[in-house]
Amino acid sequence: MDSILPDEELHEADSAAAGEATGKRRVNVLMNSIVVGIGGFIGANARYWAGEWAGHRWGKSFPYGTVLINVLGCFILGLFATLAARLAWNEQWRLLVAVGFVGAFTTFSTYEYETFQLVEQGSLLRAGLNLVVSLLAGFAAVLIGVGVGRLLLHGKG
C-alpha cells in the first residue's frame, strides 16, 4: 500500500519510530539489568550466609558450604525452570531468579541444568562431554590461575 506521506516525511517518520524503539530497548536493558542485579545481590548474600552457616555447623575441614550451595542451587534452578516453563512466568522472573539469584548463588547449578537438558534431548555424548570437559578444564583453570597468581606474587612477601 502506498503512503500518503511524501518520501522525505515517510523517512523521518521511520527514523523517529526506529529511535523510539531503540530508546525502549535501552530502557528495557536497563530494567533487566536492575532485576538481575537485585537477584544477584540476594543470591550473593544467600551464598555467604549459607556458607557461613555450614562452616559453623559442620566445620571447615571439608567444603561443606560449597557442596550445600551447589546442590541447593541445582535444586532451585531445576524447580524454578520447571515451574517457569509450565506456568509461563514473565521473563523478569527468569532474570531475577535464574540469572540473578541462582547465578550469584552458584554457577554450578547452570552447568548441571544444561547437562540435564542435553540428556533430556538425547545428546548423551554432548552431556558427558560437558561434564568431563567442564570438570577437568575447570580444575585445570584453577591450577593455572593459582600458578599465575603465585608467579605474580613471587618475591612479594
Residues 6+ apart with CB under 8 A from 100: 35, 36, 37, 38, 39, 40, 41, 42, 43
Give the pLDDT confidence score for residue 21 in this predicted structure: 73
**For 77-131, how does the pLDDT look when each residue is reduced to its tens digit (9 = 90+)?**
989 998 988 888 899 999 999 999 999 998 788 888 889 999 999 999 999 998 9
18: amino acid identity, one letter: A
Q: What value does the mean pLDDT take over residues 45-61?
A: 94
pLDDT tens across 61-78, in order?
A: 888 898 899 899 989 998
Tell me the pTM.
Answer: 0.68
Which is more confidently placed, 102 or 19? 102
